[in-house]
A and B are shown apart, each in its own frame.
Chain A
Amino acid sequence: MTVSATRPAGSVHGWVAHLRAGGTTPWLEWTDPGADHEPAGRGVPGAQQLELLRRINLARQSGPRPGIDHDRELGPLAERVLAAPAAGRGKADLPLVGVASSAFGAQPVDPASVGPHELLRVASTLLADDLVALGPDPVRRSLARPWRRRFRLVGDPVVVAAAREHLLGRGRPEGGPRPFVVAVGGPLDDLLAHTWTQRCFEHGSRPWGDWLRFWRERDQLPARVDLDECVRRWGGRRPFVRIVTDLDLLPGHVGVRRLPRVRVPGADQAELARRIAAVVGIRVPVAERPALMRTLQRRMPDSGVAPVAVPAAEREWVASSAERLARRLTRAGYPVVGDLADLAPRAAADPTGPPGPARVGRVGRVDGQQVLDLAIRMIVDPGWRTERERSVER
């Protein structure tokens, strides 16, 4: 069948019913004229919703857990996908090519040609609703140890968030009278990437490239990356400040023998979280979003994709910013645990990218298809929300 041919309405309703039943045939390959198919609702859902459902069905068939409660889960999930709005500004719900449609409105499309960005607009709504329904995981706290070392953790947001959570569970909450301000540093390109990544798991952010450009064009560093400013903000005075660039020595400065290893979320995880955070922001009061996003960070499955990395075009600015920051910290005379030379961007020393476990994908880039794959995986396999709280992978 050619794209331009007009098919009877029954054919569309037949294809929608086929998808509802778990079918995976692309629209252009659908040949059933479907005279006996009645519409299940008022109108035909948009191409975005229909194509996402088809991809979900494909993933269900080829996934690692095919057949698990398949029939029981399929109906409600299909209904949710078809009714989910595409979040944010973007295209309206797109009509299908080859169907008699209004002379007005968006141009009809072949659903198979709808890009990851459009499909993610729908997928992120579904996942945000799942997350809101799941609710926040309880925060693990232990009775505060009276003899604990008083500290205030600032700097690298990924490391700090993980350490803070661990220490709270061990009875070592932050704060207290006259705390040491412990500023966690590292290669500046990593610090920037970690800051954006953690923002995605808090209240969302603009896309990685835009966010980086925002700071580069201002020639400023974000609040959590500017360690000198972090220390000042918390009123740190020289003897009660530690600038830590050697993470192996961090535990001793927060009063414990060891801290769990931190795993930096991949670019796909961060980007998906960024999109989910935007929808969660419309679903729950602003004060409830961080706890939900922390829950997502803990439970989001790992796909092995590398974290974002500073692109080559920004490295010169990052290197000069690192030099400036190191100079300011030297002048301030704060005690350093490690070496301020470690603030130099890692990319300059190691152009192959960050070390760690083997990661797939192009290093440091947000790839829409990878993000969509992760989103579909999370929609198909509800393990991330049905299982009890996962232990954090570190």
Chain B
Amino acid sequence: MSRQVLLHVGCPKTGTSYLQDVLFRNQPVLREHDILYPADRFDAHFLAALDLMTLPWGGIETEAVGAWDRLAAEVREWHGTSIVSHEIFARATPTQVERALASLGDAEVHLVLSARDLVRQIPAEWQENVKHRSHITYERFLDTIRDPDRDSRIGSWFWAVQEIPDILERWGSSLPPEHVHLVTLPPPGGDRGELWRRFSRTFGLDGLPLDLTADRENPSLGVPETSLLRTINERVTSIIAPPDYRPLVRETLAHQTLSRSVASARLGLAPEDHAWARGLSERWIEVLAERGYDVVGSLDDLLGPDAGTFADPDAATADQLLPPALDAISALLVEGARLRAVEERLHEELREAREELDRARATRAHRARRKVVTTLENSSAGRGSLDAYRRLRGHKA
């Protein structure tokens, strides 16, 4: 079997969490079919990306030491097809791309980029920023990404991971265009299985007995829920450290609580921003069509849906924020109660351990020894004698 690497480098918010979850959970089945997804933990490829790009990430990067080299070594040793997938690879610089491709050995590299229209990506990226501690308003976010200088942290990151022609130029310029696969996300409202079929075809997974149950997804939030989370961030980002923010705010509040409100209005673009995003997408589509990549789906998918009714998250009223705010308080109280139970259990274990220690110390001989030690510790000569005794005892033991 020929050696092949399918390198999936983005984009964020294109169903990548689901794909990676399926690949991670089905590693044994994949191996039986000569496909390697080398990951000892769900976020293994995320760590490899942090390592490759020297990218600190709220402390998680300390778990990423050497992760790219280990991943690349596994890929080089594999006899069949290997899949590497994480959406933040999209941000790699040309030098990092060169290093990554060189470290994959002599395998035939196929680049995969999954892409969604800007009309849906822009609100999704703002939400993602809000879920990562940002309290930038939607209006300012739009101004930031529309600034052609891309001078800000948010603007430079957004375009680095969302500008499809640039990502493909950085990653794919050394590959033949037929080895560059652009998987477009189907338009909204279509068959929910279509995206998976496109992924499955691209990654050669058709016909494999994979468990496709969704365990891990990155759910989106409604307009009032995102607005609430942004407001909460204004209060807490500066006082809650990232290791606490992740479980308490992103997981408990955003993913497990606020994302459940499926009836809330979904975020879109105001008419003027919509027209701008559409215009940009049209130019991208022209360029991509000229480059001759293998398109899985249709470039027209990148145009995005027509403008709908726009609900402005910056104008969410107190009445709209109240229901999700009550849900948030309730979820945090439940989480607080759970943590109290954990604390109580640990106290109980500590109490038992102390009681056991006290029972062991309650003997007359122990009390006498303790008295001698205490007396000796009060003078330097006594401390010297004790130290000598302990060393002697240590040597004999």
A residues in contact (CB < 8 Å) with B:
42-43, 45-46, 83, 85-93, 102-107, 125, 144, 146-150, 177-178, 210, 213-214, 217-218, 278-279, 281-286, 289
Contact = CB atoms under 8 A, between A and B. Distances in A.
A218 B383 CA distance: 44
Contacts of B238: 210, 213-214, 217
A86 B153 CA distance: 13
Contact of A107 (B149, B160, B377, B384): B149
Interface in B367-395: 373-374, 377, 380-381, 383-388, 391
Contacts of B385: 146
B166 A85 contact: no
A92 B50 contact: no
Contacts of B391: 146
B95 A282 contact: no
Contacts of B247: none
Contacts of B380: 147, 149
Contacts of B93: 46, 85-86, 92-93
B368 to A, nearest CB: 16
B56 A281 contact: yes
Contacts of A284: 65
Contacts of A83: 95
B51 interface: yes
A105 B377 contact: no
B377 A282 contact: no
Contacts of B98: 42-43
B50 A89 contact: no
B94 A282 contact: no
A147 B384 contact: yes
B156 A282 contact: no
Given A282-B61, A286-B62, A106 B150 contact: yes
B387 A282 contact: no
B65 A283 contact: yes
A279 B174 CA distance: 29
A350 B231 CA distance: 40
B353 interface: no
10 contacts: A43-B95, A46-B93, A85-B95, A87-B54, A103-B165, A107-B148, A107-B150, A146-B386, A281-B56, A282-B65
Given A85-B54, A282-B61, A214 B239 contact: yes
Q: Is the interface on chain B under 10, 10 to 19, 20 to 34, or 35 or more residues?
A: 35 or more
Interface string B329-355: 000000000000000000000000000
Provide the main secondary structure of the chain B interface.
Answer: helix
Given A43-B94, A83-B95, A104-B166, A281 B153 contact: no
B33 to A, nearest CB: 34
A289 B387 CA distance: 33
B62 A85 contact: no
A150 B61 contact: no
Nearest to A49: B95
A150 B380 CA distance: 10
B156 A285 contact: no
A43 B173 CA distance: 11
B101 to A, nearest CB: 10
Contact of B56 (A42, A88, A144): A88
Contacts of B62: 281-282, 285-286, 289
Given A105-B163, A107-B150, 15 more contacts: A83-B95, A85-B54, A93-B94, A104-B166, A106-B156, A147-B383, A178-B374, A278-B61, A281-B56, A281-B62, A282-B54, A282-B61, A282-B65, A284-B65, A285-B62
B150 A217 contact: no
B156 A90 contact: yes
Chain A CB count within 10 A is highest, among B50, B63, B93, B163, for: B93
Contacts of A150: 377, 383
B169 interface: yes
B163 A92 contact: no
Given A147-B381, A279-B54, A283-B65, A104 B165 contact: yes
Interface string B144-184: 00001111010011011001011001100010000000000
Contacts of B166: 102, 104-105
Contacts of A147: 380-381, 383-384, 387
B167 to A, nearest CB: 9
Nearest to B174: A42
B301 to A, nearest CB: 19
8 A-B pairs with least C-beta separation: A146-B387, A104-B166, A147-B384, A147-B380, A146-B384, A93-B93, A105-B166, A286-B62
A92 B65 contact: no
B384 A282 contact: no
Contacts of A214: 238-239, 241
Contacts of A90: 153, 156
B50 A282 contact: yes
